[in-house]
Amino acid sequence: MRSKVSLIICLTFLLVLLGACGTGGVQQAESEHWVIKFERSSGSFSLAYIGDETQIDDLVYSVSGTNINQEGKAYTSHETPFNISGVVTDAEKTKDPIEFKINWNKKSENVTFE
């Protein structure tokens, strides 16, 4: 009987622990031309172009939020499909919205993660 109680307590603890681990998962958002995947707990993100253009020129992206102000750039022209990834420093330290602004080919789009 005592071992069954211990087993139930251990299993309950394990389920609670696994449930808590899943709260910082990858979020995905789309704009007209981009898919952005972002994981706040690690700060990792990826930008993937889903538009119709065959070449990406002058790509500059910025990430902003409370105590977050970063910028990245692709230094050369790239044929599509195109994606780029990086890390947002200190993303896990804020619960406030984080905005990605992407500029390319004289166009601009924004995506905000709440």
pLDDT in tens, 57-99: 999 999 999 999 999 999 899 999 999 999 999 999 999 999 9
Q: Collapse the DSSP code of 60 into the 3-class scheme (helix H, G, I; strand E, B; otherwise coil) and give the result.
A: strand
Q: What's the pLDDT score for residue 59?
A: 98
28 by DSSP, 3-state: which?
Answer: strand
- Please determine, for residue 15, whether its predicted confidence score (pLDDT) is greater than 50: no
pLDDT band of residue 3 (cuts 50, 70, 90) is low
Q: How would residue 110 be classed by pLDDT, with cut points 50, 70 and 90?
A: very high
Do residues 113 and 38 touch, judged by C-beta distance below 8 A?
yes
- The whole-number pLDDT of residue 75 equals 87
Q: Return the structure tokens found at 66.
A: 């409370």
Average pLDDT, the chain: 86
How confident is the model over 23-32, as pLDDT tens digits? 569 999 999 9
What is the structure's pLDDT at 35? 98
Cβ proximity of 88 and 68 under 8 Å: yes
Separation in Å, CA 60 to CA 14, 50, 101, 102? 44, 16, 8, 6
Q: Assess whether pLDDT exceeds 90 at residue 6.
A: no
Alpha carbon 48 to chain centroid distance? 11
Q: Residue 46's pLDDT is what?
A: 98
